[in-house]
Amino acid sequence: MKRLIVIRHGKSTWELQVRDHDRVLTQQGIDDAHSIGNALNDLDLTPDQIWTSTAARALQTATLVSEYIDYRLTKLQLKRELYTFSGNDLMDVIATAEDTIATLVICSHNQGITDLVNDWGSIRFDNVPTTGVVVIDFDSNSWSSLGKGTTKFHLFPKLLK
């Protein structure tokens, strides 16, 4: 079995005049990442690896969440390929994971996140909100040959308030 934990980066600012890749989290984005991290800690999830987009807002989100689930930051893997807005591109990156990884966390961007969880999971979402988490289990031993999975649960910041 493979477990994929998908996290959409937290709410980010448009106020700074920086390129999209360099946009950082707002205070709400930071607060939501702490809330989601705390909720994931309560669920006792233990990822084998966390991969994040290299965009500042995704890296910030992954870093904050990883502190709650006792994941060493030195193991956090930055993947430029996760800086995409395509669900198909995300699945192409996921397919490269080593099969020794049972639980993989990715932190990336919408529209790709929503498309990915709708295409590969069993529950449809109109939109995965910022800092939203969706967990999908796959009955497979290989990341490169995943079929349709089962959405086990989701955590959205508004549900935690």
The string of pLDDT tens digits covering residues 105-131 is 999 999 999 999 999 999 999 999 999
Report the pLDDT value the prediction gives residue 79, as an integer from 0 to 100: 97
Report the pLDDT value the prediction gives residue 19, as an integer from 0 to 100: 85
Report the pLDDT value the prediction gives residue 101, as an integer from 0 to 100: 97
Q: Domain map of the chain by residue range?
A: 2-160
Angle between helices 87-94 and 112-120 (to 10 degrees): 70
Residue 12: both structure tokens together: 């980010």
Cβ-Cβ contacts under 8 Å for 56 (sequence gap 6 or more): 21, 22, 23, 24
Angle between helices 56-68 and 27-42 (to 10 degrees): 40
Residue 135: both structure tokens together: 């967990």
Report the topology of domain 2-160. Rossmann fold (3.40.50)
Closest among 31, 32, 26 to 8, alpha carbons compared: 32
Q: What is the pLDDT of residues 72-105, one digit of tens each?
A: 888 999 999 999 999 999 999 999 999 999 999 9
Residue 146: both structure tokens together: 């995943």
Report the pLDDT value the prediction gives residue 156, as an integer from 0 to 100: 97
Please tell me the least confidently modeled range out of 10-14, 27-31, 103-107, 133-137.
10-14
Is pLDDT of 9 > 80?
A: yes
Strands of the 77-78 sheet, one edge to the other: 77-78, 49-52, 103-108, 2-8, 133-138, 150-155
Q: Phi and psi (nearest 5°) for 26?
A: -80, 175
Report the pLDDT value the prediction gives residue 160, as an integer from 0 to 100: 85
Q: What is the mean pLDDT of residues 134-153?
A: 97
Q: What is the pLDDT of residues 15-70, one digit of tens each?
A: 877 887 888 999 999 999 999 999 999 887 889 999 999 999 999 999 999 999 98
3-state secondary structure of 106: strand
